């Protein structure tokens, strides 16, 4: 064993032995410089000209949602919303895989991160992340919340995650679809990951775990970014990967709570994480200065290509994947709020990247419309966020995060509706996708114009503006918006061929209706808040 007491105290050793995990040399809670040094020595990555550690994740450059499983047992059987997203695996097959994993890791060198999920002390989750790569431990160090020295001394994890990159499942014997697996066992409080190097699986496995636990504790878990204005008013930004949560929440005029995962309790909103996981394809200093400046020593860049003969990152190069990423601690964003806790939000922004090019760039939602669009979760999957996605494709992801929501959508939607009503929160739907035509014909909505629309929503610039109903999506569109050309606010006006717009818009409206049918009998007032079909 490692003779460094920090690396493997007796308490930690005994906890692992109770689980029959008998590792060799264990490096526990190493510092950022130590982990970077080891990763470079082991050939896991290289330093870029910015000081960030650059790594490659092999053939897995995005999540593998079809390879995520939840153990079906007495605890979960009647709670989980089973189906294509929440796939079942038996207790027996879990034990088969876990048993082989324990034999595989015996006597080998591993890295341990002990920390927390959740900035709120009353609900935070103590976790342990065990990885066979130093850079994965660095990833965990930067994305989760690190403990103080006092907390570390007495740390007892409630959930343990074991990730082994070169360990594969045996599909024909162990009930998996492929050799790759992400398995959540909520009863034994163990998460297993194998045969993938994509670090996002570690982050999202913990997110899914919290999304299962928190509603049972009366806390609303959310796939959203959050920030706070100088007036103390907070805002939430919901949306799937690539829709703009990180970009739009990183506002120099506001303090950042976090860019992806939050909870809403009776007392506050709070970040689940201690870091940010930003997409950086086509990143430019002039458009996103805060993210650009955060990519420095301590940051991990995934699948970012260097310019020829240099160590300079080429953020425009999507050779390996469009899903290039950078993970960095929250404090790398100037003015970020640590600990990341704030009061109840005054504004909620739903983000969608509409590849049809027919959704308005901004619209106002009633409470019922907010619940409808939250349950629907319409957007376009953008290239690279999942394996096999090479161009935008329309999708409906309930709660703007279906792959991470173990419970039925109605559980989360009801919580949202109660929160909006209780705190008089205003909700807007913002399209960060296309205008003037579909993907390949129209253009992506200008980021500066999107920022101006969001700013107007946050500062009250839309409070005294006249709105009109679009007649197809049943959305309230502002006639004017500060700093935004009025002719782009109505998407129909941006299309050269109005009949093609009407046809495309009605097609998407019908898709909304068809998708909504899967939720069964929903309250009539919510059904009526959707598109007019």
Q: 112-138 burial, b if ≥16 CB within 10 A, otherwise e?
A: bbbbbbbbbeebbbbbbbbbbbbbbbb
Residue 497 annotated among the catalytic residues of the structure: no
Q: What is the pLDDT of residue 393?
A: 73
Could you please report the per-residue DSSP string of 475-510? -EEES-BTTB-GGGTSHHHH-S-HHHHHHHHHHHHH
Residue 96 annotated among the catalytic residues of the structure: no
Q: At residue 420, does pLDDT exceed 90?
A: yes
**The one catalytic residue among 260, 324, 376, 435:** 260
CA distances from 207 to 15, 211, 315, 367, 527 (A): 23, 6, 27, 26, 29
Q: 289-305 burial, b if ≥16 CB within 10 A, otherwise e?
A: ebbbebbeebbbbbbbb
- Read off the pLDDT of residues 46-60 as tens digits, 9 standing for 90 and up: 999 999 999 999 999
The average pLDDT across 4-28 equals 77
Is the distance from CB of 220 to CB of 412 less than 8 angstroms?
yes
CA distances from 54 to 280, 292, 299, 451 (A): 13, 15, 9, 30
Q: What is the pLDDT of residue 5?
A: 39
- Beta pairing partners, 126: 116
Separation between Cα atoms, residue 251 and residue 137, nearest integer Å: 29
**The one catalytic residue among 50, 137, 241, 504:** 241
Long-range contacts made by residues 93-99, C-beta under 8 angstroms, separation at least 24? 93/174, 93/175, 93/176, 94/183, 94/185, 94/192, 96/173, 96/174, 97/169, 97/174, 97/176, 97/181, 97/183, 97/192, 97/194, 98/190, 98/192
Q: Give percent of the chain with pLDDT exceeding 90.
A: 88
Separation between Cα atoms, residue 376 and residue 162, nearest integer Å: 33
Residue 241 annotated among the catalytic residues of the structure: yes
Contacts of 140 (CB under 8 A, 6+ apart): 113, 115, 129, 131, 202
Is the distance from CB of 389 to CB of 381 less than 8 angstroms?
yes
Q: At residue 387, does pLDDT exceed 70?
A: no
How does residue 384 score in pLDDT terms, banded at 50, 70 and 90?
Answer: low
- Read off the pLDDT of residues 93-112 as tens digits, 9 standing for 90 and up: 999 999 999 999 999 999 99
**The one catalytic residue among 123, 146, 246, 247:** 246
Name the DSSP letter for residue 145.
B
Is the distance from CB of 274 to CB of 146 less than 8 angstroms?
yes
The average pLDDT across 499-519 equals 94
Is the distance from CB of 515 to CB of 375 less than 8 angstroms?
no
Is the distance from CB of 476 to CB of 373 less than 8 angstroms?
no
**The one catalytic residue among 68, 128, 254, 325:** 325
**The one catalytic residue among 204, 373, 387, 408:** 204
Separation between Cα atoms, residue 237 and residue 225, nearest integer Å: 5
Q: How many residues belong to the chain? A: 533
User: How do strand 68-72 and strand 181-185 relate by DSSP bridges?
Assistant: parallel
Specify the 3-state DSSP secondary structure of 371.
helix
Name the DSSP letter for residue 147.
P
**Mean confidence (pLDDT) of the chain:** 94
Q: What is the pLDDT of residue 382?
A: 56
Separation between Cα atoms, residue 319 and residue 245, nearest integer Å: 24
Q: At residue 383, does pLDDT exceed 90?
A: no
Residue 319 annotated among the catalytic residues of the structure: no
Residue 245 annotated among the catalytic residues of the structure: yes
Q: In order of start, what are the domains of the chain with their CATH numbers? A: 10-30+61-217 (3.40.449.10), 220-276+339-527 (3.90.228.20), 278-330 (2.170.8.10)
Neighbouring C-beta atoms of residue 10, cutoff 10 Å: 8
| Burial class of residue 253 (count of CB atoms within 10 Å of its CB; 0-12, 13-18, 19+) | exposed
Q: At residue 512, does pLDDT exceed 70?
A: yes
For residue 339, whether the previous peptide bond is cis, meaning omega lies within 30 degrees of 0, is yes
How does residue 4 score in pLDDT terms, banded at 50, 70 and 90?
Answer: very low
- Beta pairing partners, 393: 381
Residue 325 annotated among the catalytic residues of the structure: yes
CA distances from 337 to 138, 202, 257, 369 (A): 22, 24, 5, 31
Residue 223 annotated among the catalytic residues of the structure: yes
* 128-142, 231-245, 456-470, 497-511: the lowest-pLDDT one: 231-245
**The one catalytic residue among 63, 155, 255, 410:** 63
Residue 363 annotated among the catalytic residues of the structure: no
Q: At residue 1, does pLDDT exceed 90?
A: no
Separation between Cα atoms, residue 527 and residue 110, nearest integer Å: 51
Q: At residue 2, does pLDDT exceed 50?
A: no
Separation between Cα atoms, residue 291 and residue 89, nearest integer Å: 39
**The one catalytic residue among 245, 262, 387, 455:** 245
Could you please report the per-residue DSSP string of 37-86? HHHHHTTSEEE-TTSPEEE--TT--SB-GGGEEEEESTTTTTTS-BTTTB
Q: At residue 467, does pLDDT exceed 50?
A: yes
The average pLDDT across 74-101 equals 97
Long-range contacts made by residues 47-51, C-beta under 8 angstroms, separation at least 24? 47/311, 48/295, 48/301, 48/304, 48/306, 48/311, 48/312, 48/313, 49/310, 49/311, 49/312, 49/313, 50/295, 50/296, 50/297, 50/299, 50/313, 51/296, 51/297, 51/298, 51/299
Specify the 3-state DSSP secondary structure of 201.
helix
């Amino acid at each position: 064993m490692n003779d460094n007491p920090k690396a493997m105290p007796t308490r930690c050793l005994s906890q692992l032995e109770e689980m029959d995990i008998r590792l060799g040399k264990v490096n526990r809670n190493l510092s950022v410089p130590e982990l970077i040094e080891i990763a470079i020595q082991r050939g896991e990555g290289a330093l870029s000209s910015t000081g960030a550690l650059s790594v490659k994740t092999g053939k897995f450059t995005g999540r593998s949602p079809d390879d995520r499983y939840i153990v079906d047992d007495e605890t979960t059987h009647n709670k989980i919303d089973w189906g294509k997203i929440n796939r079942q695996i038996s207790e027996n097959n879990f034990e088969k895989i876990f048993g082989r994993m324990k034999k595989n890791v015996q006597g080998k060198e591993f890295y341990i991160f002990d920390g927390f999920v959740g900035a709120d002390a009353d609900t935070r989750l103590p976790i342990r992340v065990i990885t066979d790569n130093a850079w994965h431990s660095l990833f965990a160090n930067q994305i989760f919340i690190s403990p103080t020295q006092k907390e570390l001394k007495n740390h007892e994890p409630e959930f343990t995650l074991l990730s082994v990159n070169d360990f594969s499942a045996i599909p024909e014997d162990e009930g998996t679809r492929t050799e790759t697996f992400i398995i959540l066992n909520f009863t034994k409080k163990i998460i297993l990951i194998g045969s993938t190097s994509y670090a996002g699986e570690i982050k999202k496995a913990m997110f899914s775990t919290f999304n299962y636990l928190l509603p049972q504790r009366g806390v609303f878990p959310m796939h959203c970014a959050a920030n706070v204005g100088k007036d103390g008013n907070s805002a939430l930004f919901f949306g799937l990967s690539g829709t703009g949560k990180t970009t739009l929440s990183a506002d120099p005029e506001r303090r950042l709570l976090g860019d992806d995962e939050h909870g809403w309790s009776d007392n506050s909103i709070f970040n689940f994480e201690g870091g940010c996981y930003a997409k950086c394809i086509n990143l430019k200093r002039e458009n996103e200065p805060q993210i650009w400046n955060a990519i420095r020593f301590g940051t991990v860049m995934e699948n970012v290509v260097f310019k020829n003969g240099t160590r300079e990152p080429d953020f425009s190069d999507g050779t390996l994947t469009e899903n290039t990423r950078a993970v960095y601690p929250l404090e790398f964003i100037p003015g970020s709020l640590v600990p990341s806790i704030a009061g109840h939000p005054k504004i909620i922004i739903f983000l969608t990247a509409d590849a049809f090019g027919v959704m308005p760039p901004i619209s106002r939602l009633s409470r019922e419309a907010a619940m409808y669009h939250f349950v629907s979760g319409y957007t376009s999957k953008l290239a690279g966020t999942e394996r096999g996605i090479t161009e935008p494709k329309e999708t409906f992801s309930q709660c703007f995060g279906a792959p991470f929501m173990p419970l039925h959508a109605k559980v989360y939607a009801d919580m949202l509706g109660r929160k909006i009503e209780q705190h008089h929160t205003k909700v807007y739907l913002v399209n960060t996708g296309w205008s003037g035509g579909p993907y390949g014909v129209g253009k992506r909505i200008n980021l500066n114009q999107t920022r101006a629309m969001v700013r107007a929503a946050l500062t009250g610039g839309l409070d005294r503006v006249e709105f009109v109903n679009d007649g197809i999506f049943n959305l309230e569109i502002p006639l004017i918006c500060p700093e935004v050309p009025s002719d782009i606010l109505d998407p129909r006006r941006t299309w050269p061929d109005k009949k093609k717009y009407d046809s495309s818009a009605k097609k998407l409206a019908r898709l909304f209706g068809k998708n909504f049918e899967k939720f069964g009998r929903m309250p009539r007032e919510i059904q009526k808040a959707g598109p007019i079909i």
